[in-house]
């Protein structure tokens, strides 16, 4: 699916970006520091990834955005 998809996916991507998942941002996920190299990419229902550079090792990783963050983004939409 990548970044193309339904209006619902675009809406989720917009909410994730507002939560800080944008290219160039530094985030801490799964106990590691990452610099995001891409905006979020929807790969399936409840499956969203970002390509990121792990700060400690310098390795490129495709990191799954945690389900709790996706739920938070969905909760923000339902509360708006």
CA angle in degrees (0–180, nearest 5) for 42-45-46? 80
| pLDDT score of 60 | 98
Asked: is 7-79 a CATH 2.30.30 domain? The reply is yes
**What is the domain partition of the chain in residue ranges?**
7-79
Alpha carbons 11 and 76: distance in angstroms, whole number: 11
pLDDT at 77: 60
pLDDT of residue 6: 59
Low-confidence spans in the chain with pLDDT less than 50: 1-3
Record the tokens describing residue 74, joined without a space: 């969905």
Please give the share of the chain, as a percent, with pLDDT higher than 90: 59
Can you give the pLDDT at residue 11? Answer: 85
Residue 7 has a pLDDT of 64
Query: What is the reported pLDDT for 5?
Result: 55
């Amino acid at each position: 699916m990548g970044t193309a998809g339904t209006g619902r996916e675009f809406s989720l991507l917009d909410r994730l970006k507002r939560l800080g998942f944008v290219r160039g941002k530094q985030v801490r996920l799964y106990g590691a520091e990452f610099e995001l190299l891409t905006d979020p990419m929807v790969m399936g229902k409840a499956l969203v990834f970002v390509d990121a550079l792990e700060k400690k090792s310098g390795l490129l990783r495709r990191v799954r955005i945690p389900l709790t963050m996706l739920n938070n983004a969905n909760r923000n939409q339902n509360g708006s």
